[in-house]
Amino acid sequence: MEIQEIQIRPIQPEDNPAIAKIIRTTLEEFGANKPGTVYFDSETDHLFELFSQTPGSAYQVAIQDGKILGGAGIYPTPNLPEGTCELVKMYLLAAARGKGVGRTLIEQAFQLASNLGYQAIYLETMPELKKAIYIYEKMGFQYLKGPMGNSGHTGCDIWMIKTL
C-alpha cells in the first residue's frame, strides 16, 4: 500500500457502516471495547449525520481502490476551551497501519481545524492504543493531567493537546 494511492475525502452517508465496523473492530483487536468508549456510542453508526449537522466539525475518510481504510474527525466537544476542538474517531484497518495513512488523516485534521479557526486540538485515548499514542506524540501532542470538555468517554484515561 503506497500513500500516493490513498484518497482522503469527506465522509458520505454510504460510509457509515464501514467506518463503524472499523472503529469497533479496532477496539476489539486491542481489548479496548469497554464501556465509556466510542464502541458503545450510538453515533458511531451515524457519523455522516453527526458531522454534517454539527457546525465546526468535519470527518474525513481514507480510501484506496474503493475501500475505506479508516477515518478521523474534528469535533467541537462541549465545554472545551474556546478555540479548541477534539480529534475524534481516528481509527484505521490493521492493513492500513504503519503506512502513513494515520499521519495523513491527522495532518488533514490539523488543516481542517485551522481552516475552521481552531487554535488547538485535544484528544482522549487509552493505554491499549499504544501505536496511536506514539503517533500522537510524534505529531506534537502533549500530555494533560486530566480530561477537558465533556466527551462522555469515561473509559479514556489519557488526554493530550496540540497547539496549531
- Write the CB contacts of 35 (distance below 8 Å, at least 6 apart in sequence): 154, 155
The gap between the terminal CA atoms of the chain, to the nearest Å, is: 29
Domains held by the chain: number: 1
Name residue 12's amino acid.
Answer: Q
Give Cα 156 distance to the centre of its chain. Answer: 13
Residue 149 clears pLDDT 90, i.e. is over it: no
- Write the CB contacts of 117 (distance below 8 Å, at least 6 apart in sequence): 83
β partners of residue 124: 159
Per-residue pLDDT, 4: 55
| Percent share of the chain, pLDDT over 90 | 74
Selected residue with higher pLDDT from 34 and 92: 92
Residue 59 clears pLDDT 60, i.e. is over it: yes
Per residue in 72-115, pLDDT (tens digit) is 999 999 999 999 999 999 999 999 998 899 999 999 999 999 99
Q: How many CB atoms lie within 10 A of CB 105?
A: 25
- We report the CATH number of the domain holding residue 63 as 3.40.630.30
Whether pTM exceeds 0.75? yes
Q: What is the DSSP letter of 37?
A: S
Using DSSP, state whether 155 is helix, strand or coil. Answer: coil
Nearest to 137 by CA among 119, 102, 161, 120: 161
Q: What is the C-alpha to C-alpha distance for residues 140 and 156, in angstroms, rounded to an integer? A: 20
Judge whether 110 and 104 are in contact, CB under 8 Å.
Answer: no
Residue range of the domain that includes 25: 3-163
Q: How many CB atoms lie within 10 A of CB 94?
A: 11
